[in-house]
């Protein structure tokens, strides 16, 4: 059940820093500690209402590495849940397994986290899960497989991620490469620069 291989990443060949500039966001949200000194041409051009809404959707898709069709599915699911659709959407995106692996510090970027999940390095409650879009639940235990824990790759990763703050909804044992989802996050603790209300407006047209 868990071993279905699913490729869901589009190949976007635009350099990451250039894409960040075009979306008006800091690369730090991707786990990248670089900044570009270049200014985006036409940066001061006034955007239309539709342009602003579209940019917020593109930003969310870019940050979480989600394609258009799955993103629409997340929105449809969020709209059927209790509460605010926009907040539900952000919580669903934040609950993806690849994002949780990134948040726990077991990967330097979400892209690397997707590869780690895809390459069958991750256990959820003791079972292998290689679907990056798998949605975690409160109480889930996320762990890197024992045979990979001592590898140089994870030593290098922990060296980079060791100083990062772990979100309060997660409990992490970095040395043991294991963590627990204490609870699902609320919108207030999700630190991504996305105005989800503009996404709701875009899909409501």
The tens digit of pLDDT for each residue in 116-166 reads 999 999 999 999 999 999 999 999 999 999 999 999 999 999 999 998 999
Which pLDDT score, from 0 to 100, does residue 68 have? Answer: 96
Q: Are residues 107 and 140 in the same domain?
A: yes
pLDDT, tens digit (0-9, with 9 covering 90-100), for 90-127: 999 999 999 999 999 999 999 999 999 999 999 999 99
Same-domain check for residues 113 and 180: yes
Domain presence at residue 9: no
Same domain, 103 and 170: yes
The band of 3, judged by pLDDT with boundaries at 50, 70 and 90, is very low
Please check whether residue 1 lies inside any domain of the structure.
no
Would 43 be classed as within a structural domain?
yes
Based on the number of CB atoms within 10 Å of its own CB, is 135 exposed (0-12), middle (13-18) or buried (19 or more)? middle
User: What integer pLDDT is reported at residue 37 of this predicted model?
Assistant: 52
pLDDT 10s digits, 24-36:
777 677 777 665 5
Are residue 79 and residue 153 in the same domain, yes or no?
no
CATH number at residue 45: 1.10.1050.10
Whether 20 maps to a domain, the answer reads yes
Question: Do 143 and 125 fall into the same domain?
Answer: yes
Residues 110 and 178 in one domain: yes
Examine residue 141 and state whether it is found in any structural domain, yes or no: yes
Domain with 124, as residue range(s), is 96-184
Q: Residue 23's pLDDT is what?
A: 77
- CATH code: domain of residue 118: 3.10.290.10
- Tokens representing 205 are 């047209």
Domain annotation covers residue 51: yes
Q: Which residue in 120, 114, 66, 111 sits closest to 89, CA to CA? A: 66
Number of alpha carbons in the 13 Å side-chain half-sphere of residue 6:
15
pLDDT at 91: 98
Range in 5-14, 19-28, 171-180, 187-196 with the lowest mean pLDDT: 5-14
- 6: pLDDT strictly greater than 50: no
If asked whether residues 122 and 148 sit together in one domain, one would say yes
| 192 pLDDT higher than 60 | yes
User: Which residues, 6+ apart, have CB-to-CB distance to 47 below 8 Å?
Assistant: 55
Number of domains in the chain: 2
Q: Considering the chain, what is the average pLDDT of its residues?
A: 88
Are 57 and 101 within one domain? no
Same domain, 106 and 121: yes
How does strand 170-173 pair with strand 141-144? unpaired
Residue 7 lies in a domain: no
Tell me what pLDDT residue 205 has: 79
Residues 43 and 26 reside in one and the same domain: yes
Q: In this structure, what is the dihedral angle of CA atoms 142, 146, 148, 154, given to the nearest 10 degrees? A: 60
Q: Please indicate, yes or no, whether residues 133 and 53 belong to a single structural domain of this protein.
A: no
122-124 and 127-128 beta bridge pairing? antiparallel
Specify whether 101 is located in the same domain as 116.
yes
- Asked whether residue 3 is domain-assigned, the answer is no
């Amino acid at each position: 059940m868990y071993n279905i291989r699913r490729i869901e990443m589009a190949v976007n060949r635009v350099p990451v820093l250039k894409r960040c500039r075009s979306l008006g966001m800091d690369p730090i949200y991707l786990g990248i500690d670089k900044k570009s000194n270049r200014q985006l041409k036409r940066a001061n051009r006034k955007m239309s209402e539709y342009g602003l809404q579209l940019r917020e959707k593109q930003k969310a898709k870019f940050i979480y590495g989600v394609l258009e069709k799955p993103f629409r599915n997340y929105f449809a699911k969020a709209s059927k849940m209790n509460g605010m659709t926009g907040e539900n959407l952000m919580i669903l995106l934040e609950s993806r397994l690849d994002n949780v692996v990134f948040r726990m510090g077991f990967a330097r970027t979400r892209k690397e986290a997707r590869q780690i999940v895809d390459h069958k390095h991750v256990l959820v409650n003791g079972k292998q899960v290689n679907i990056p879009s798998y949605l975690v639940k409160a109480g889930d235990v996320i762990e890197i497989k024992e045979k990979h824990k001592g590898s140089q790759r994870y030593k290098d990763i922990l060296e980079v991620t060791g100083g990062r703050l772990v979100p309060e909804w997660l409990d992490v044992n970095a040395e043991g490469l294991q963590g627990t989802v204490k609870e699902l996050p609320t919108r207030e603790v999700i630190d991504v620069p996305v105005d989800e209300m503009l996404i709701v407006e875009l899909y409501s047209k």
